[in-house]
Amino acid sequence: MKIIKTIVGNLNSRCVLKIKKQNWSGFVMPIKDNIFQKLDSFKLEKINKKKFIKVYKRDFLIPLEINNIIGVGKNFSDKYDQKLFNKFKVNPDFFIMNKNAVIASNKKTILPRCYNSILVEGEIGIIIKKKCRNVSIMNAKNYIKGYIICNDYSARDLIHLQSDNTLLRKSSDGFLPIGPAIKMGYQKENFLINTIINQRHVQSTNTNQLIVNFENIISMLSKHITLYKNDLICSGSGQPKPKIKRGDTVQISVEGLGNLNSRIV
């Protein structure tokens, strides 16, 4: 796996990003630092110096138009436990999020006045490659287009509500920063997820701590609902979930996927 150091973090050479500049917008792949290569479409190409372009952090957009968004709750454990896995299979914690929650890296999330704080949930998102239904665990990898960093914010202290409401605490505007890159294709290796709040490292988790791994998630979901091209599945975040408030900055850093930055206002 070739890793390239760029202005948006360490990226796998198989990453695709999207930018918008004054005179051009479209897909790019990383070359080095702030040099990227223009792509003709959402597809990696051979290196071509004639297509190099200089970019800045402010230029990056959400790398792909997302279709449906599905979250997976309570999917992390300190160590693998077959009992937890069996329990999840008969009582899965899947939920839907609204697309208005999605924002790009280096953007502000406005915290509504009905919240005092929110929880940070850095995790890996799975992008579905094509329509699928009743997928086996063995074949699930064939339906993975790629992976992206997600920060699945969760508001647990809604001031005016007496009980929890998944839609409101997960789908407020800007509550799902994603990006900056999509690592294309299936990856067998696990991802190390680092959470930095106000420039202080507060948490490290690994996708080997998922109770239900990526392939099992896709297989389970597809037995109940049809998955479509560019659906996003947020696979689950570690414990404990750090709490933040207005004025805080958050960075979710994943080797090969870059740095997802956001600020709460």
Looking at residue 115, its pLDDT comes to 84
Looking at residue 118, its pLDDT comes to 94
DSSP annotation string for 96-131:
EE-GGGEE-TTEEEP--TTBS-EE--EEEEEEE-S-
Q: Could you identify the residue written with the tokens 């239900």? A: 212
Task: Kindly give the residue spans of alpha helices, DSSP state H, lying in the chain.
Answer: 82-90, 166-171, 214-222
Tell me the sheet residues that pair with 176.
102
CB 183 within 8 A of CB 149: no
- 69-264 architecture in CATH? Alpha-Beta Complex (3.90)
Looking at residue 1, its pLDDT comes to 72
Domain with CATH 3.90.850.10 in the chain: 69-264
111-148 pLDDT, tens digit each: 988 888 999 999 999 999 999 999 999 999 999 999 99
What does the chain come to in residues?
A: 265
Tens-of-pLDDT digits for all 265 residues of the chain? 799 999 999 999 999 999 999 999 999 999 999 999 999 999 999 999 999 999 999 999 999 999 999 999 999 998 778 999 999 988 999 999 999 999 999 999 999 888 889 999 999 999 999 999 999 999 999 999 999 999 999 987 776 666 667 777 788 999 999 999 999 999 999 999 999 999 999 999 999 999 999 999 999 999 999 999 999 999 999 989 999 999 999 999 999 999 999 999 9
CB-based contacts of 242, cutoff 8 Å, min separation 6: 119, 120, 195, 197, 202, 203
Looking at residue 50, its pLDDT comes to 98
